Amino acid sequence: FSESALSFGCKFTFKPIRVSKPILTLPISRGCVTLLSGYAADHITHCVRPEDVVSRRAVIILRRVRDDAPRLEPEIEIPSPSRKRSILPSLNDSVGDPERRYSSSSSSDESFKPVKVSSKVICLKEEKDEKSSTP
């Protein structure tokens, strides 16, 4: 399965499949669990655009979770994904204004300007297949 991205603020249709530019794109690494709450979950559209999927993916969506359900809590600080992040300007931003355009396409991460997103990304450790040889 591959990395993908979760896009916020898109307008999309299914037939034919068309998606507008997102307000924000959140890279999702392989093996990650994402929890959306508040504004990110209830007040803005969110989707995985076809162009953000490199190859196969599997998604399990739990829309309503019981209050007494077990929760995943990260034990350590999670490093940012290896994939470059990009924050796209909103449709109201002027295209020609470089101060209003945010992107990390340059080689330095100093140009990345973070935007607060109400989501939690938990990356699960990849377990190595430790099958023993013939006994």
- What are the tens digits of pLDDT across the range 55-74? 877 777 777 778 887 776 65
Measure the CA–CA gap between 93 and 14, rounded to whole angstroms: 27
Contact 17, 70 (CB under 8 A): no
β-partners of residue 121 are: 34
- What are the tens digits of pLDDT across the range 7-27? 899 887 878 888 889 998 888
Quick check: 94 pLDDT over 70?
no
Of 14-18, 77-81, 90-94, 120-124, the poorest mean pLDDT is in 90-94
- For the four alpha carbons of 33, 117, 97 and 18, in that order, the dihedral sign comes to positive
Domain residue spans of the chain: 1-125
- Residue 113 has what pLDDT? 44
Quick check: 3 pLDDT over 70?
yes
